[in-house]
Amino acid sequence: MKEFNAHEKESYLLIKKLIEDNGYKMTYQRREILSQFIINKNNHLSAEKVYDMLKDNGIGISTVYRNINIFVDLDILKEFRVDNKSYYELKMYARKPLHIHLQCEKCGKIKDIVDKEIILNYLKINNLIEKNYNIEIDDVDIMFHGLCNNCTKKYI
């Protein structure tokens, strides 16, 4: 396992406490799986990708799936689906009023789209929807499909 920087270590210790407070032990396998999400916090990982990164450490695919499901149940990981495939990210980094992704149709990468103006405009729409329909919206995920900036450059 790669050494954590100070921020990553703080995240790890918070999540470790949450896991242990819910009656689970922080096993070697859980630590290794969790560290992939902490170290790759700007990426969206599938269970298969996590397995590929950890198979040389003796961690099987069923162990990866089982622990990812535990992390989702404990609200540590957020799951979202793209084309019938599940991807995961640490929920502590996904807590935004609006979570926008772009899936590149060419290379398959998933990018976060974070833009203050877009979020502010969305919040106006969100408030209007809540008011007009007398509902409360907790979370919104938007998935755009198109070309990322790297693949767009290849066509220019």
C-alpha 80/C-alpha 48 separation (Å) is 15
Helices (H) and strands (E) in the chain, counts: 7, 5
Pairing mode, strands 77-82 and 85-90: antiparallel
Does 115 score more than 80 pLDDT? no
Whether the predicted model's global pTM rises above the 0.75 cut: no
Domain with CATH 3.30.1490.190 in the chain: 96-155
pLDDT value, residue 130: 87
Query: Which CATH superfamily is 96-155 part of?
Result: Ferric-uptake regulator, C-terminal dimerisarion domain (3.30.1490.190)
The confidence score (pLDDT) of residue 83 equals 83
pLDDT tens-place string over residues 40-91: 887 889 999 999 999 999 999 999 999 999 999 998 998 888 888 999 988 7
- Of all residues in the chain, what percent carry a pLDDT higher than 90? 50
Residue numbering of the annotated binding site for Zn(2+): 104, 107, 148, 151
SS3 132: helix
Question: Looking at residue 136, what is its pLDDT?
Answer: 82
pLDDT given for residue 78 in this prediction: 85
Report the C-alpha dihedral over residues 134, 138, 144, 149, rounded to 10 degrees: 130
Query: With contact defined as beta carbons under 8 Å apart, do 45 and 94 qualify?
Result: no
Q: Which residues are annotated as a binding site?
A: 104, 107, 148, 151
Residue 93 pLDDT more than 70? no
Q: How far apart are CA 130 and CA 79, in angstroms?
A: 24
94 pLDDT higher than 60? no
Token representation of residue 87: 């991807």
Domain(s) of CATH 1.10.10.10: residues in the chain: 6-92
**Chain-wide mean pLDDT for the chain?**
87
| Percentage of residues of the chain with pLDDT beyond 70 | 93
Domain 6-92 matching CATH 3.90.420.10: the answer reads: no
Contacts within 8 Å (CB) and 24+ apart, 108-112:
109/148, 110/44, 110/82, 111/148, 112/42
pLDDT of the residue at 140: 80
